[in-house]
Chains A and B, each alone.
Chain A
Amino acid sequence: SQKIEQNSEALNIQEGKTATLTCNYTNYSPAYLQWYRQDPGRGPVFLLLIRENEKEKRKERLKVTFDTTLKQSLFHITASQPADSATYLCALTPYASGGSYIPTFGRGTSLIVHP
């Protein structure tokens, strides 16, 4: 069966360090992969998208890598700040006819950045 795995344990890091979150998947051929941020009680907010033929994407302090051989994506936040504390969700979207492109989400990993 298809699975998207994100570390269920919270990641605790010190301010200023780089946070690295992992998303692994099995039995999936994604057209692209997305990362979202979710704060408690709020809807997810889109951060970055990376396509299957891309290795790396950057946006300000964020970097995403995508290894379709390892079936893994890494999400990095450099120079982390307490305001980066949130849950980060990985979502995979398969190729679909008719343009539905419905993403499937992992359970998310909680990041806590300590001052």
Chain B
Amino acid sequence: DTGVSQDPRHKITKRGQNVTFRCDPISEHNRLYWYRQTLGQGPEFLTYFQNEAQLEKSRLLSDRFSAERPKGSFSTLEIQRTEQGDSAMYLCASPDARTGNTIYFGEGSWLTVV
């Protein structure tokens, strides 16, 4: 257990529906990353928060995706009007507060769009 919690662990949704994933990072870590991973591929960066500020967004994050981190604590990733290509594991990561070098990942939220 890395201390990073993600919910739900699995989600099956119909195409066109909206889904939201939640991440609770390690409490004293002020940085938070979201990644996406498909089968046979490595994690791909989506977005980065420092406290409540969203500082970087990948071009993978289309306008159907939105992420928030109110009050710099937990974060949510919402996908609107889901498409089959959104099926993936969505990973939240919490870099070590002191050095930022060690990154602690959650167990991921699996999304299947049918």
Binding site for B on A (CB under 8 A): 4, 6, 8, 32, 34, 36, 41-46, 49, 89, 91, 93, 98-108
Decide: A102 and B107 in contact? CB cutoff 8 A: no
* Interface residues of chain B: helix, strand, loop or mixed (majority): strand
Q: Are B48 and A102 in contact (CB under 8 A)?
A: yes
B interface vs A, CB < 8 Å? 2, 4, 33, 35, 40-45, 48, 50, 55-56, 91, 93, 95, 100-108, 110
Q: Which residues of the other chain, A, contact B44 by a CB distance below 8 angstroms?
A: 105
CA distance A83 to B2 in the complex (A): 19
Q: Across the interface, do B45 and A46 meet the contact criterion of CB distance under 8 Å? A: no
Please tell me which one of the listed residues B41, B56, B102 contacts residue A102 in the complex, with CB atoms under 8 A apart: B56
Check A49 against B40 for contact (C-beta < 8 Å). Answer: no
A39 CB to nearest B CB, Å: 10
